Structures are given as structure tokens and as C-alpha cells.
Structure 1
Amino acid sequence: MEAYLNFPGNAEEALKFYARCLGGGVVGDIYRYSAMPPGEMPVPPGWDNKVLHATFESEGARFMASDVPPEQSPPGYSGFAMSVYVPKDKARAQKVFNDLAEGGKVTMPFAPPFWGGSFGMCTDKFGVPWMVSCEVE
């Protein structure tokens, strides 16, 4: 299974942010609304260059993303979190957490939880919830 994140018109900005935070980046082409055959679905004015579909990959993990036109279901994230596991490198895990939290909201500071290791939760500036963990305290 892979996560598919929907954005209200800023998917490309989010993907660049995730590349900076997580390393990696978009694999393959970014498909644009302008590439759809005429009549496939209505495209709002000004959305020709928005992201119809993209796949992001970092260290073997991947997710997909797109922009969702305003007249479709608006994106909203609840009931899940994107999870990043950084093995054996607490400093890198802390950096990933700090970068994802930049401009967003920390919901649980990155620290040793009662079960061991290091763990933190945040919601990024795009409204996407994240959990970052490492087995090292």
C-alpha cells in the first residue's frame, strides 16, 4: 500500500518541501492537467500546469500526490499520519522531524518516548500529519 496525498493547488510546492526534508524526490514525470485528453474531466481555469499525478520516493519509501480542483472534495487529513523511520541515526531523525515541522505544528516533541528510541509527531505547513521515529535515544 502507498499513501496518496491530495493538495488544493500547491502539490508541486509540497513535493519540493518534502524533497528538502526527506531527501529523494519525484520519480518519473509529473503529469499535468494539461496532458489529459479533452473532455476527460473538467479542468478549472488556471489549472493546466497543476499536478495531476506525481510519485515521490525517498530511501525506498514512496507516496503519490496530486492537486485536487476546488469543486472536488477538498483535501483534509485526519485519521492517519505519514510515518518516517530513520534507522540508527538520531541526528538525522531529529533533522527530518525539525524540517517537517518547519512552518507547521509540533503535536509531540521529538524525544525518547516510554517505549524507547526517539519519536515525535507534527503537522507540516500543508496540513499533513507526520510521525518520525528512530530506535536510538
Structure 2
Amino acid sequence: MQIVPYLSFGGKCREAFAFYQCVLGGEITHMMAARGTPAEPHVAPENVDDIMHARLVGDGFSLMGGDAPPQMYAAPTGFSVSLQFDDPAKGKQVFDALAEGGAIIMPFEATFWAAGFGMCHDRYGTPWMVNCETV
């Protein structure tokens, strides 16, 4: 079994997944909009190019997401996507890239449990924790 985070966006999924691919690496294996699918007639014309399903797969991770219908979208709360690194320099690099244009909740720094830890919301509103445990 795998646990795979599924992120919702308010019309920015395509842009967000291109950003995540740039920051995290990997390959976008799915990027499906409603246009041209059996779902198209059930989607408002202004939303047919929104992403119904996206998937980014990389070394040791998978991330999925899509654009929620406008009346159903809410900013994410109550969770964080947690990234674990062995190398604090790599963790800091990823943290800084994710935080750029977003909001830093806790700066990336050494803690009593980690050689580096930070929390941020990226420019798309996704909450992230970057952790480099020493335990």
C-alpha cells in the first residue's frame, strides 16, 4: 500500500504541478482536463480546461491533485505535505523553493529533533513541512 497526497486547487493545478516538478523532480504522468472527455458535458464551459486529475511521480514519492469545481474549492487546512530528507542542504534548497512567493510558517533551521526543519505554504496555498531528522 502507498499513501499518496491528493491536492485540490482552484484552477491552478496545471501551474502548481509544473512548479512541483521543477522543485521536486520526477515526471508528470497524468494531466487530464475535462475537455474532450465524457465529463466535458457535465462541466461549466469556463472550466473545461481545469485539471480533473494530475499525477507527479518521482524517486520515492507520488503526488496527485486536481482543480476542484469552483463552488467546492476551499483553501487547504488541517494537514501538511511532509518531505523527509537525509541531507539538510537539500532540504533547505527544497524548502526555500517551495516557500518562494508563499508564506514561511517556521523558518528552516535546526531543532532538537532535526538537523533542519521548516514549515511553509507555497504560492498555491499548499502547506509543506520539510524535515531532516537526526533520529
> Within 1, Cα distance between the matches of 2:38 and 2:70?
20
Aligned to 2:22: 20
**Secondary structure in 2 aligned to 1:117?**
strand
98-107 or 54-63, which moves further after superposition?
54-63
Aligned length: 132
Aligned to 1:43: 43
Is this contact kept in 2: 1:6–1:68, CA < 8 A?
yes
The aligned runs of 1:27-106 (5 Å cut-off) are: 27=29, 29-37=30-38, 42-71=42-71, 73-87=72-86, 89-106=87-104
The amino acid that maps onto 2:83 is: V
Q: CA offset at residue 57 of structure 1?
A: 1.6
Distance 1:134 1:38, change over 3 A: closer
Percent identity of paired positions between Structure 1 and Structure 2: 38
Q: CA offset at residue 111 of structure 1?
A: 0.4
Unpaired runs of at least 5, structure 2 = none
> Within 2, Cα distance between the matches of 1:103 and 1:127?
10
The amino acid that maps onto 2:120 is: C
**Secondary structure in 1 aligned to 2:92?**
helix
**Secondary structure in 2 aligned to 1:55?**
strand
Unpaired runs of at least 5, structure 1 = none
Which residue of 1, 4, 10 maps to 2:6?
4
> Within 2, Cα distance between the matches of 1:116 and 1:86?
10
Q: CA offset at residue 49 of structure 1?
A: 2.1
Aligned residues: CA RMSD = 1.7
The amino acid that maps onto 1:60 is: G
Aligned to 1:119: 117
**Secondary structure in 1 aligned to 2:64?**
strand
> Within 2, Cα distance between the matches of 1:35 and 1:54?
16
User: What stretches of structure 1 move > 3 A for 4+ residues in a row?
Assistant: none
